[in-house]
Chain A
């Protein structure tokens, strides 16, 4: 099974500042058949289901503000929020979907 490890577990960032969350997989999630990284980022606010933010490591979903960006390849990935807004307070999860089980990282709690 592929293990996903996020860092840090929690993060406090001032409004307007940059937030960076890292995700490392125990083996590559890059699919050779399509040269795509099978890696997604989700945002979960209290009392709500997760919401897909980023797919294929760097593709922002429709409606997601452009302050959110994803990068990385192979085993190392990063979610960056360029200028933190109050509504970005949430827990963020990375997940691979390269194979089953489609494991998630343990989550990173982002606070102001």
Chain B
């Protein structure tokens, strides 16, 4: 059974940092491009970032570029999102997502972890 389990969410003040993790199981993690997608409370889905199978290539949405860093550890089947300089508008549920290729549909979704940026 495919599982993606996010952790690391919580409440942080504006300007602060958080590191999200996503533990993957049930599929060959190293064969999948991975993404983060976020959803603000009551709002729609927004793609945040992606990383290549070997971690050598990353791409970010303009709204997070320079503040967020995505990485992966294929030996530990784990995905990360380092979030710095957080803003109130970053408040959202963050989903860890698996896709088959660089331009491919999003096959697997985690349950999400809530990040709240508030003073």
**Interface of A with B (CB < 8 Å)?**
31, 38, 40, 42, 44, 48-52, 55-56, 93, 95, 97-107
Contacts and interface: CB of A to CB of B under 8 A. Distances in A.
B103 A98 contact: yes
B47 to A, nearest CB: 4
Main secondary structure, interface of A, reads: loop
Contacts of B110: 49
B75 to A, nearest CB: 26
A49 B103 CA distance: 21
B35 A49 contact: no
Contacts of A98: 103
Q: Would you list the 8 A-B pairs with minimal beta carbon distance, nearest first? A: A55-B105, A49-B109, A40-B105, A104-B45, A102-B47, A100-B59, A107-B44, A97-B103
Interface in B99-119: 99, 103-107, 109-112
Given A49-B111, A101-B61, A104-B44, A40 B106 contact: yes
User: Would you call the interface of chain B mostly helix, strand, loop, or mixed?
Assistant: strand
A55 B107 CA distance: 9
A61 to B, nearest CB: 8
Given A97-B104, A107-B45, 16 more contacts: A40-B106, A48-B111, A49-B95, A49-B110, A49-B111, A50-B95, A93-B45, A95-B105, A97-B105, A100-B50, A101-B61, A101-B62, A102-B35, A102-B106, A103-B47, A104-B44
Interface of B: 35, 44-47, 50, 59, 61-62, 95, 99, 103-107, 109-112
Given A97-B99, A101-B61, A102-B35, A52 B107 contact: yes
Nearest to B48: A101
A103 B44 CA distance: 11
Contacts of B46: 104
Contact of A38 (B47, B50, B95, B103): B103
